[in-house]
Structure 1
Amino acid sequence: MKLYEFAPTRSIRVRWVLQELGVEFEPVTVNLAAGGHRSPEFLEINPAGKVPALVDGDLVLTESVAIVLYLAEKYPNKGLLPADLQQRAQVYRWLLFAATELEQPLWRIARHTFLYPEDQRLPAEVALAGNDFKAMAEVLEKHMQQRQFVVGDGLTVADIVMAYTLDWAKEARLLDGFPQLVAYMERMYTRPHAAPRIAQAFASLKA
């Protein structure tokens, strides 16, 4: 099994799941800063030119949420995806909530802060996206009251995806006023098999 990754990206989600599962894998760094994602070799793996990508035998899989679901289903005895249908549906719900309601505003902020060429950035979009994120973060804040995990009484892939997304929000300085979310995120990253925080991943690139 090979994981094509770049330290600070959503690759962190997949690496974390693999580490929680205790699965051996070969990490392959795709250096986005050096244009490695545009190389012909990598574009054969993911024509979209994005990481992460997982190669497991004949299977080539992209999109971090799809990958973590695949891994959870491949190793059902590890419990990262509930056997109960209703609990599993809740995991799907919160995975999609993270990807659509929380992550999309974060992407808008990133695009209009440093990804787009400077003459294409719209400062107003940053403020609007921040407001959109906070409105949905309030929903999650209420959900997490009296909870240790997003779904049920144990770790699922929803927690790993959510913890990374909240760490991204922390980097964007959007978690002030959400004590439940901050405490939850910090707790997730103290797990023995947790992946590095985004800030740590960036720092490792400069080492």
Structure 2
Amino acid sequence: MIKLYGTPPTRALRALWLLNELDLAHEIVPVDIGAGENRTSEFRALNPAAKLPVLVDGDLVISESAAIQLYLADKYGDRFPGGGLIPDTAEDRARMHHWLFFLMTEIEAPLWRIALHSFLYAPEEKSDAEIALAKRDGRRMIAVLEQHMQGRDFIVGEQVTVADFNAAFTLDWANEEELLDEAPVLRAYLEAMYARARAPVTIAAAMAGLEA
């Protein structure tokens, strides 16, 4: 049984989406960060960085949400109807990796800065100016992806790949920070991705569930 440590609305959603799409039996293991469960010796034995998500599949223990996505697609991709989660050609794989890295470094990084300065840092460490800069940087890079997606249904090629499942979560996060106001193509793409039959909950829905 595959175990996924971490729950919505965290980046565990990226891994959960692949588990759903591949119809893989799995167990979700909640880790209460607020209570410090990610800093216990037991959890640090899985991930010394004390961060979520972590996936355990047999003897393999792997963290970093994008790496988990790639692993699941690589090992179990033949379960996906029609294949295609990882492109066949080296050229298209390079394009997929390009956009995966772009999403993580150019769009998620500003989103994480916003989160840090909005509610994760101690009050004396927070900076409204840093939030403003992160939002500016995020919008600039979102504009690049918006341009790329003109006339496209998917990030790379003619069918869904790992990059799309990464992008959907990342853009949902950006949407929560109101960074997609000038990105109508990405808003439509986001809606289409979350309309998939095996899409996980959105960040907003997961937050609402926590507050209920």
What is the TM-score when the length of structure 2 is the normalising length? 0.94
Match of 1:118 in 2: 123
Match of 2:147 in 1: 142
- SS of the aligned residue for 2:34 comes to helix
Match of 1:24 in 2: 25
Kindly provide the amino acid, as one letter, of the partner of residue 43 in structure 2.
Answer: F
- SS of the aligned residue for 1:194 comes to coil
Match of 1:90 in 2: 95
Report deviation, 1:145. Answer: 0.7
8 Å CA contact retained: 1:6, 1:31 = no
Moved over 4 A (4+): none
Counterparts of 2:125 and 2:174, CA distance in 1 = 23
| RMSD value, Cα | 1.0
Counterparts of 2:211 and 2:125, CA distance in 1 = 28
Match of 1:47 in 2: 48
The number of residue pairs the alignment matches comes to 207
Match of 1:109 in 2: 114
Counterparts of 2:117 and 2:110, CA distance in 1 = 11
Kindly provide the amino acid, as one letter, of the partner of residue 125 in structure 1.
Answer: E
Match of 2:77 in 1: 76
Gapped runs of 5+ residues in structure 1? none
Report deviation, 1:110. Answer: 1.0
Identity %, equivalent residues: 52
Counterparts of 1:148 and 1:165, CA distance in 2 = 17
Counterparts of 1:43 and 1:152, CA distance in 2 = 39
Report deviation, 1:40. Answer: 2.2
Report deviation, 1:85. Answer: 1.3
- SS of the aligned residue for 2:196 comes to coil
Counterparts of 2:39 and 2:92, CA distance in 1 = 39
What is the TM-score when the length of structure 1 is the normalising length? 0.97
